Structure 1
Amino acid sequence: MNSFVIREYKSGDEKYITMLFKEVFGKDMTVEQWKWKYYIPGNGKIYSKIAEDSNGNLIGHAGAVPLKGLFKGKPYQFFQIADVMVHPKARGFFGTKNIFSMIIKKLFEDIAKAFTEVFCYGFPGHRPFILGKRIDVYDEIEKAVDYTKTPKYTFFNKCKIKNLEWNDIEINNLWNSISNSLGLSVIRDTAYLNWRYALNPFNNYQLYGAFHSGILKCWFVTKEQEDELFIIDFMSDLKLFRQALKAFEKIFAHKKKIHIWVSKPFKESLKNYNIEQTQIITTNMIWKLPLKTDIVKKNLFYTMGDVDIF
């Protein structure tokens, strides 16, 4: 193949990035959608890498969405790695001629130089995960599991479900009260919820709160798909999580199925849910980066909302 260079994003690339997205994934992404995803959380700083051939054609992209996170109660820089793609005609080859290897390694090397305390993660399917594993950039945290259940109507519950506004101050109060117990997590405050869900140009979401004695103890971000309901994201007081879920099931008892992803220690509350394996692998990015996978496995809190496709 012709020679190529790996470079920083520059204004105007988004037109060709979205064209490459269509070529690789067979789906449309508008320039506005790409800008929402990469511009807003980083306040204009784009960390993504571009591969360009000798004729100036954009043939590769590795995206890094900057997010604010916490690790053991302290601020920690997060990046969700997304939209890693190479034009079909430019794939293959070995060593320094392999675009996938060169672009993803360059991305992580530059992130590691910019941040001493940083966590990069992503959710590739099986085939792209294997490609990343072979070149020592991806490491498996776990295979993502979909917990499902037919919701039931129950009569007595400690929690009351109400609609919430995306900027409700109680969301921040809940986050501040329980965030230190989560280990490793994106900061799920009103700023994050507004960007990720309220302003999302791909999907429409609803926000519900579970209240106990008038105090917000849990919230759920949901998306409906025909007669099924997906709990895309949540934050909860662990002690009341099961009760909050039951109260939530009550108001959606007419749905055929509820879907939710949870991580430790919330899995203990879902013993009466069915477990369905997904094709998604929760992945720690390890090339030149500081957090070892065994530490991530013990600490990471994530939901469907951490995955950009939901």
Structure 2
Amino acid sequence: MASDSSLQNNSANQGVRITSLVRPENENDFLDLFQAAFRHQMPPELLRWKYCGLVSPGMLVKQDGLPVAFYGGMPRAINLLGTPVMAVQIGDVMVHPRQRGILSRKGLFFQVASSFLEHFVGDGKTFPVAFGFPSERAFRLAAHLGLYERVGELMQVSWPALKARPSYKFLIRPINPDQDVAAVDRLWLEMADALQDQIIGVRDWSYVQQRYLQHPAFTYQIYLVSSRWTGVPVGIFVIRVHEDTVELLDMIAPPQRLSILVHCLRRVAWGLGKPRVHAWITNQNARLLAGGAGEIASTGITIPHNKWTSGIPASKILDRWWLMGGDTDFN
């Protein structure tokens, strides 16, 4: 990180300095701060999966040698209204409980967030756009401080499991990493071509492998749906099985095929003995995903947009993000 950060030069923060997560010696600082901020531990393997090897993994703030704040950034390849660019996904934003009293621009949250945005996000910076999934309280604070503005909302869609005979049109099977790489890449290209009026994270094989098959903490199931007669791939869905529900994390298919995937997913849920399926998706896509059988409810999660530095105006991308639960770093 830049050594001349505005945070270091702020006289109200004596003894404060910005460091980096790139060096292994900072790993325990992050984990100690995470434990203090969220009252549970992050496995070191999950930290490395998120940030290992990144040039700009975020800003870690120390005060008198102790970690007090962090603002994380994970690069994500996206298609921005049809144009491939690199965005940054904000995550693991935290301030030590003993430092949370100042909710103004003198506080550590504002200092670390504004410093990150000034260094990395906006016109002429590393990332033209940033996004994330802040809690309602965190978004309200950031908006109050002039850092964020709203460009979307995550909704929850849920369906009952479906007891039905196997389809005579479509075949459902777990993905085979040795055979299905080309199918995943083909489906992603079809999806990207159909969503050139939206902003969507790349969902090619490299992403699927890193995000779902190599996750150090969670186990996912990935299914390929194809035509029973021609073998042509129709779509892919990714799920995580919970005690009483199936969570749909991701889908890779053009939007017009989502109803086929949802029907297949509900059948899979019944076969797993789970009564319901639920998914998160941005509000402008919720009705399409829900179809006739789905119920839609708010999650309370707002999609933020950088307001602090000059860049893409929020009006240009309002309700344009295609995001699901798998796009988060915590599901």
| TM-score of the pair, normalised by structure 1 | 0.91
The 3 A distance-change label for structure 1 pair 266 and 278 is: closer
The 3 A distance-change label for structure 1 pair 269 and 69 is: closer
Q: Provide the C-alpha distance between the structure 2 equivalents of 1:211 and 1:258, rounded to a whole number of angstroms.
A: 21
- Tell whether 2:96 aligns with 1:87: yes
The 3 A distance-change label for structure 1 pair 224 and 292 is: same
**Is the CA contact (8 Å cut-off) linking 1:137 and 1:287 kept in structure 2?**
yes
Q: Provide the C-alpha distance between the structure 2 equivalents of 1:305 and 1:285, rounded to a whole number of angstroms.
A: 22
2:176 alignment partner in structure 1: 165
- Gaps in structure 2 of 5+ consecutive residues: 1-11
- Tell whether 2:106 aligns with 1:104: no
2:158 alignment partner in structure 1: 148
Aligned counterpart in structure 1 of residue 274 of structure 2, from 239, 250, 255: 255
Q: Provide the C-alpha distance between the structure 2 equivalents of 1:2 and 1:105, rounded to a whole number of angstroms.
A: 15
User: Secondary structure of 1:27's partner?
Assistant: coil
2:294 alignment partner in structure 1: 273
**Structure 1 residues 222-231 or 9-18, which shifts more?**
9-18
Letter paired with 2:34: F
| Deviation of the 1:279 alpha carbon | 3.2
The 5 A counterparts of 1:1-310 are 3=14, 4-11=16-23, 12-39=25-52, 43-53=53-63, 55-93=64-102, 97-112=106-121, 115=125, 118-155=128-165, 156=167, 158-166=169-177, 168-182=181-195, 183-212=198-227, 213-253=230-270, 254-263=273-282, 264-265=284-285, 267-271=287-291, 272-310=293-331
User: Secondary structure of 1:221's partner?
Assistant: strand
Q: Provide the C-alpha distance between the structure 2 equivalents of 1:282 and 1:159, rounded to a whole number of angstroms.
A: 35
| TM-score of the pair, normalised by structure 2 | 0.85
Q: How many matched pairs?
A: 306
The sequence identity of aligned pairs, in percent, is 22
Q: Provide the C-alpha distance between the structure 2 equivalents of 1:288 and 1:303, rounded to a whole number of angstroms.
A: 26
2:5 alignment partner in structure 1: none
| Deviation of the 1:276 alpha carbon | 2.6
The 3 A distance-change label for structure 1 pair 153 and 111 is: same
| Deviation of the 1:206 alpha carbon | 0.8
Letter paired with 1:6: I
The 3 A distance-change label for structure 1 pair 143 and 13 is: same
